[in-house]
Amino acid sequence: MNIKPIKLIIIFIISSLSQHSFSQKNNTSNTNTTSNPLKYTGSNKGKFFISWGGNRESFSRSDIRFKGVNYDFTIKDVSAKDKPKGWHIDYFNPTKITIPQTNIKIGYFISDKYAISLGVDHMKYVMNNNRNKIIDGYINLPNNELGSQYNGNYDNEDFFVSEDFLLFEHTNGLNYVYAEFSRFDDISSIFNIQNTDKFQLNITEGLGAGILYPKTNTTLLQKDRYDQFHLAGYGLSLNAGLNMTFFKHFFVELDLRGGYINMPDIRTTSNTIESASQHFFYLQRVISFGGIFRL
């Protein structure tokens, strides 16, 4: 009996079965890939985002020092408030975007979880007037100059800070221009959200640093009002937020942002050698609307 042809037949059958089995596995793999495609929201790397919103803020108390020609004094423990516009069309009016308190940010995902961004927080700071405060320092204006009625040496004395004595506001505004490094985490699965391309829930945390470029409205010692933009100092910020993304490209974000502001060179009059300085902490509540996309 010739065994060689039988061996060839057996080898041929095994080879055919192996190819058929591999083909089935490959088809199954392709079918699974097709039925479970990678969602758009499954990867963030390479995406850009931009957002626009509004804010409310609170400020810690601070000491404000005013120094200039013939005066150098500090008002201690000053309180301040923001100046909200409320729900208003001015938030979306390009000619009036500096009237309300607004936030704008543009960013880029360098990986699926980490992003870098640039932003401007347009806050408003209004010193509370017509209150008794502690004042320390001196005022020694010429007797024929407006404001000379406040002349004197003050040694931590109780003093009524009226609007005639001082009007001090960063209302156009307290502009924090910053860069931020942030992290995003998809928490949709915790709430059993299956199709994140329709709705996705993220938490985000960020660390920022930047400059303060306020337009400070000041009337000091009955001198002429001064209101010009000026680089006054720097700021640091921490951010935590909840991001809700709809239909892959649109989102609403709620943020809680806290930080520290130090402004050693605030312009107060037209005389460049006259200035004010202060530092304080702040807390911002922000709601913003935005879009996320790939170019």
33-80 pLDDT, tens per residue?
Answer: 445 567 888 899 999 999 999 999 999 999 999 999 999 999 999 999
> How much is the pLDDT for 58?
96
Per the structure, the complete domain to which residue 77 belongs is given by 45-293
Contacts of 32 (CB under 8 A, 6+ apart): none
Q: Tens of pLDDT along 220-251?
A: 998 988 888 999 999 999 999 999 999 999 99
Same domain? 14 vs 55 = no
247 and 284 both lie in a single domain: yes
Please report the pLDDT score of residue 92 as a whole number: 60
Does 79 share its domain with 211?
Answer: yes
Overall pTM surpassing 0.85 (yes/no): no
Our count of domains for the chain comes to 2
CATH number at residue 201: 2.40.160.20
pLDDT for residue 173: 87
For residues 55 and 120, state if they share a domain.
yes
The 8-class DSSP code of residue 37 comes to P
Dist CA 56 CA 85 (whole Å): 10
State how far the Cα of 41 lies from the Cα of 196, in Å rounded to an integer.
6
Q: What is the pLDDT of residue 115?
A: 98
Same domain, 56 and 158: yes
DSSP 223: P
pLDDT at 39: 82
Q: Using CA atoms, how far apart are residues 180 and 119, in angstroms rounded to an integer? A: 8
| The two structure tokens encoding residue 211 | 């400059």
Whole-number pLDDT of residue 41: 86
- Write down the pLDDT at residue 38: 76
Low-confidence ranges of the chain (pLDDT < 70): 1-37, 86-98
d(Cα 216, Cα 266) in Å, to the nearest integer? 8
How far apart CA 115 and CA 7 sit, in angstroms, is 63
pLDDT at 103: 95
pLDDT at 14: 44
- 35 phi and psi, to 5 degrees? -75, -20
Q: Are residues 52 and 33 part of one domain?
A: no
| Pair (7, 130) in one structural domain | no
